[in-house]
Structure 1
Amino acid sequence: MSKVLLVVGHPDLSQSKANAALVDAVRDLPHVTVHDLYATYPDFQIDVAAEQALLADHDVIVFQHPVFWYNTTPLFKQWQDKVLTFGWAFTIDGSASQLAGKKAVVAVTTGVPADHYTPEGSNQATIETLLSNWQATLRLCQFDIQQPMVKVYGTAFGLSDEDLATAAKQYSELLASYAA
């Protein structure tokens, strides 16, 4: 059974509608470890060794966060900078990193609806284009990137409870599929 680490980077999960629903949908899956960065590090003092041990101990890493200014949240970015270190998370000589071959999933929520994330929409780009730094980071770290990116749009404007429930169910099914 694959062990899944869900790294959550929401600044206040207790005040979240969509991110909390996604976490709640998978929290009781026996092979999933939910790791809330903001609850673990309210002072932003990241324990790099503990974080690297968590990553090493899991087969599938899910990176979940709301989109903040076309990026991840501040603590999540700091986590990337501190934890994904040269020689451990990535190399430049072709040798395997400690993350090589682990599966990676990116799951994001956005405040505005999906039609804003099209070439014709207000953002004039897809969410995949705007978050291409994730793909580059995961490739550098030699992850096996799982497609497609999980996306829940319109959390601040128009996401219905029914659509959120459907998204949470699909998320649970996706993470459950890694148990096999």
Structure 2
Amino acid sequence: MSKVLLVIGHPDLSQSKANAALVDAVRDLAHVTVHDLYATYPDFQIDADAERALLAEHDVIVFQHPVFWYNTTPLFKQWQDKVFTFGWAFTMDGSSSQLAGKKAIVAVTAGVPGDHYTPEGANQATLETLLSSWHATLRLCQFDIQPMVKVYGTAFGLSDEDLAIAAKQYNELLASFAA
């Protein structure tokens, strides 16, 4: 059984509808550890050693956050800067990092509908393109990158039924790592 670490970077999960629904859908899975960065570090003082130890204990790492200005949230970015350090998370000589081979999933929620995230849409780019720094970071850290999980329309247009479907699919995805 693979141990899954869900690193959640929502500034106020108690006020979230979509991110909270995703977390709630997987919280009771025995092999999933939910790690809320904003609850753990309200002062933004990240314990990088503790975070690295947590990453080392898990086989699958899920990075979940709402899209903030086509990026991750501020604390999540700071977390990346403090935790993904040279020599531990990545190397330059081709040797293996401490994260090499671990599966990584980026799971994001976007306020506007999916058609905004197309070359023809309002944003003129896909979420994968706009969040390409995630892919580059995960590749540098030698993660086994899995497909991105995307939930669109969380501020405009996502029905309760569609959110329930997304939460169920999220549960099924993370549950699949228990096999």
The CA distance in 2 between the partners of 1:68 and 1:124, in whole Å, is: 17
CA displacement at 1:174 relative to structure 2: 0.1
The CA distance in 2 between the partners of 1:153 and 1:170, in whole Å, is: 14
After superposition, residues 90-169 of structure 1 pair within 5 angstroms as 90-147=90-147, 149-169=148-168
CA displacement at 1:77 relative to structure 2: 0.1
TM-score by length of 1: 0.99
Paired residue type of 2:61: I
1:93-112 deviations in Å (ceiling 9; x for gaps): 00000000000000000000
* Matching of residue 19 in structure 1 with residue 30 in structure 2: no
What percent identity do the matched residue pairs reach?
A: 89
Question: Which segments of 5 or more consecutive residues in structure 2 lack a partner in the other structure?
Answer: none
The CA distance in 1 between the partners of 2:178 and 2:132, in whole Å, is: 28
CA displacement at 1:84 relative to structure 2: 0.3
Aligned to 2:59: 59
Q: Aligned to 1:87, what secondary structure does the other structure show?
A: coil
Paired residue type of 1:175: L
What RMSD, in angstroms, separates the aligned Cα atoms of the two structures?
0.3
1:45-92 deviations in Å (ceiling 9; x for gaps): 000000000000000000000000000000000000000000000000
Aligned to 1:176: 175
After superposition, residues 28-39 of structure 1 pair within 5 angstroms as 28-39=28-39
1:101-129 deviations in Å (ceiling 9; x for gaps): 00000000000000000011010000110
* Matching of residue 87 in structure 1 with residue 104 in structure 2: no
The CA distance in 1 between the partners of 2:106 and 2:48, in whole Å, is: 21
Aligned to 1:41: 41
Aligned to 1:74: 74
Question: Which segments of 5 or more consecutive residues in structure 1 lack a partner in the other structure?
Answer: none
TM-score by length of 2: 1.00
1:129-151 deviations in Å (ceiling 9; x for gaps): 0001000000000000012x100
Q: Aligned to 1:5, what secondary structure does the other structure show?
A: strand
Paired residue type of 1:167: A
Aligned to 1:6: 6
The CA distance in 1 between the partners of 2:94 and 2:20, in whole Å, is: 39
